Amino acid sequence: MANTLQAKKRVRRNAKREVINKARRSRIRTYVKKVELAVEAGNADEAKIALKAAQPELMRGVTKGVLHKKTASRKVSRLAKRVKALG
């Protein structure tokens, strides 16, 4: 259990941030899933649109500290490669 005032405040702050970060991570995963579903369905137009929506969402996760920069870049790169393969 936290003893100092600062430690107690950190516990409260961490609980708030956890909720926010969880929501952000969930939102990013939803966008990525939309791209993957469009790719699996073979719908190139829908996949391109979904990728354009997912890309800024992933990068926003980087600026907010939810994802590492290289993780987001890798995910965008792999998604783009799969979308491009559709033609």
Using one digit for the tens of pLDDT, what is the confidence trace for 39-52?
A: 999 999 999 999 99
pLDDT at residue 2 in the model? 79
Residues 6+ apart with CB under 8 A from 45: none
CA 53 – CA 49 distance, rounded (Å): 6
Please spell the DSSP secondary structure of 18-74, one letter per residue: HHHHHHHHHHHHHHHHHHHHHHHHT-HHHHHHHHHHHHHHHHHHHHTTSS-HHHHHH
Domains, the chain, with CATH or none? 5-86 (1.20.58.110)
| This prediction's pTM | 0.87
Using one digit for the tens of pLDDT, what is the confidence trace for 11-67?
A: 999 999 999 999 999 999 999 999 999 999 999 999 999 999 999 999 999 999 999
